[in-house]
């Protein structure tokens, strides 16, 4: 099974900060990676698919990139609505696996 190692587990930041979250796959997943945002008590929301494609309706301050088996979610300028937990997920094959999550909290 492919393991997804996400870091950091918690990130303290301020409004306007540039935020970067990393996910590393244990083997090649091509670009079959998604990023989700989840707020407490709510279902996750798709932000990025196929590593770098922005889901319709998602603000352009969110972006995704890849380098080999390392994937990055960047928020260019953190907004109040962005304080949440973020998960990566591979869908290269079954079983799908998620990263452990990164909680972005207010500094």
User: Which residues contact another protein (rule: CB under 8 A)?
Assistant: 1, 32, 34, 36, 38, 43-46, 49-50, 55, 87, 89, 91, 94-101
- Please report, for residues 21, 29, 89, 95, the alpha-carbon distance to residue 32 in angstroms, rounded to integers and kept in the order given: 17, 6, 8, 13
Nearer to another protein, 48 or 78 (CB): 48
Q: What is the nearest approach in angstroms of another protein to the Cβ of residue 79?
A: 22
Can you tell me the distance from the alpha carbon of 24 to that of 3, in angstroms, rounded to the nearest whole number? 8
> 35, 52 in Cβ contact below 8 A?
no
Q: What is the nearest approach in angstroms of another protein to the Cβ of residue 43?
A: 4
Nearer to another protein, 83 or 96 (CB): 96
């Amino acid at each position: 099974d492919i393991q997804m190692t996400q870091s950091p587990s918690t990130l303290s930041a301020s409004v306007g900060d540039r935020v970067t979250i990393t996910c590393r796959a244990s083997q090649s997943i091509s670009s079959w990676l998604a990023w989700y945002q989840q707020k407490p008590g709510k279902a996750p929301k798709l932000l990025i698919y196929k590593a770098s494609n922005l889901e319709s309706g998602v603000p352009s301050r969110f972006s995704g990139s890849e380098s080999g088996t390392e994937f990055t979610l960047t928020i260019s300028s953190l907004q109040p609505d962005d304080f949440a937990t973020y998960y990566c997920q591979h869908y290269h094959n079954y079983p799908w696996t998620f990263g452990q999550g990164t909680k972005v909290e207010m500094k």
